[in-house]
């Protein structure tokens, strides 16, 4: 039945559905997991990297600016970081658009863009791609972790239809159903950043396709408030820092390897 109504983005089916958007969401559900948790003093993001291999040149991630491989977690502005799930090329285009929108707002009003406004800007653009012929929806969902002085820390999710929503904890990508149910059980309203980091790592260890967690499979970022300047501080972890964090929470692979050799 769908075949008659899915040849254009702009064609509604008799049930009132836009199949192209549903197909885009299906593409996202097969992408690497991205998980976000909102704490009272910060926001934590973690993402599963799908592009891995010994021959990849990761020197930029190890030595470059903010860390991260530039595959799943991006700095959009000094007060907003984003995790992406879906077609990475589409994500790069949206990230560039978001960065431009954030800088334009900073230039015009001399203040950082509010998180919800940035999510709205991107969603307006995404919605346009569901409305005009000859275009296809962006095959990517984003989690926005941000801070603004009025509403403080926030976590938003947007999808290819142009819808966005605020969350306390959420997950996009593969195995998101399992992750959501784990988050429902363990999330508390007064959670701190330290507790949120532990929760995120535990959930990722249970939902990722890989059996062991390591920096080659994981990207990690935390947004907190600098106690001295009272300004938001985004930290995208470098591979060595991720491995150290996993060891700290007894989720690293080195301990397991040592046990196996000892046996």
Does residue 259 carry a pLDDT above 50? no
Helices H / strands E in the chain, number of each = 8, 10
Query: Residue 234 pairs with which residues in a beta bridge?
Result: 223
Query: What domains appear along the chain, each with residue ranges and CATH number?
Result: 17-50+69-249 (3.60.20.10)
Taking only the tens place, the pLDDT of each residue in 93-146 is: 999 999 999 999 999 999 999 999 999 999 999 999 998 888 899 999 999 999
Burial of 82: CB neighbours in 10 Å, binned 0-12, 13-18, 19+: buried
Confidence (pLDDT) at 249: 87
- Please tell me which residue, 259 or 86, carries the higher pLDDT value: 86
Taking only the tens place, the pLDDT of each residue in 20-34 is: 999 999 999 999 999
Per cent of the chain over pLDDT 90 is: 70
- Please tell me which residue, 263 or 193, carries the higher pLDDT value: 193
| CA–centroid distance for 136 within its chain | 22
Confidence (pLDDT) at 64: 61
Does residue 182 carry a pLDDT above 60? yes
Alpha-carbon gap, residue 149 to 239, rounded angstroms: 31
Confidence (pLDDT) at 70: 77
Alpha-carbon gap, residue 141 to 86, rounded angstroms: 6
Does residue 89 carry a pLDDT above 50? yes
Confidence (pLDDT) at 212: 77
Confidence (pLDDT) at 86: 95
Per cent of the chain over pLDDT 70 is: 92
Helices (H), the chain: 19-29, 59-63, 88-109, 115-128, 176-186, 193-207, 239-248, 253-262
Confidence (pLDDT) at 100: 97
Confidence (pLDDT) at 67: 64
Alpha-carbon gap, residue 88 to 257, rounded angstroms: 33
- Give the confidence band of 66 by pLDDT, cuts at 50, 70, 90: low
Does residue 251 carry a pLDDT above 90? no
Confidence (pLDDT) at 2: 58
Confidence (pLDDT) at 32: 92
Taking only the tens place, the pLDDT of each residue in 190-245 is: 999 999 999 999 999 998 877 778 888 899 999 999 988 989 999 999 988 999 99
Query: Residue 84 pairs with which residues in a beta bridge?
Result: 142
Long-range contacts at 16-20 (CB < 8 A, ≥ 24 apart) = 18/130, 18/161, 20/130, 20/136, 20/137
Q: What average pLDDT score do residues 87-98 get?
A: 95
């Amino acid at each position: 039945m769908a075949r008659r109504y899915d040849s254009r983005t702009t064609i509604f089916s008799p049930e009132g559905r836009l199949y192209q958007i549903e197909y885009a969401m299906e593409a996202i559900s097969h992408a690497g997991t991205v998980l976000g948790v909102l704490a009272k003093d910060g926001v934590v993001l973690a993402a599963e990297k799908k592009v891995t291999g010994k021959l990849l040149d990761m020197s930029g991630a190890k030595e470059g600016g903010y860390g991260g491989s530039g595959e799943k977690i991006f700095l959009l502005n000094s007060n907003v970081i984003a995790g992406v799930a879906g077609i990475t090329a589409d994500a790069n285009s949206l990230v560039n658009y978001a960065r431009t929108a954030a800088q334009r707002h900073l230039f015009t009003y001399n203040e950082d863009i509010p998180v919800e406004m940035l999510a709205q800007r991107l969603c307006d653009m995404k919605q346009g791609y569901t409305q005009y012929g000859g275009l296809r929806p962006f095959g990517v969902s984003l989690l926005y972790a941000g801070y603004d002085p009025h509403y403080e820390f926030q976590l938003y999710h947007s999808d290819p239809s142009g819808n966005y929503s605020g969350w306390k904890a959420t997950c996009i990508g593969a195995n998101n159903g399992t992750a959501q149910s784990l988050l429902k059980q363990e999330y508390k309203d007064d959670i701190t950043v330290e507790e949120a980091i532990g929760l995120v790592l535990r959930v990722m260890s249970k939902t990722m396709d890989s059996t062991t967690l390591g920096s080659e499979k994981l990207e990690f970022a935390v947004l907190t408030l600098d106690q001295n300047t009272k300004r938001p501080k985004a930290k995208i972890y470098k591979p060595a820092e991720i491995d150290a964090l996993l060891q700290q929470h007894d989720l690293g692979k080195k301990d397991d390897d040592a046990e196996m050799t000892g046996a």
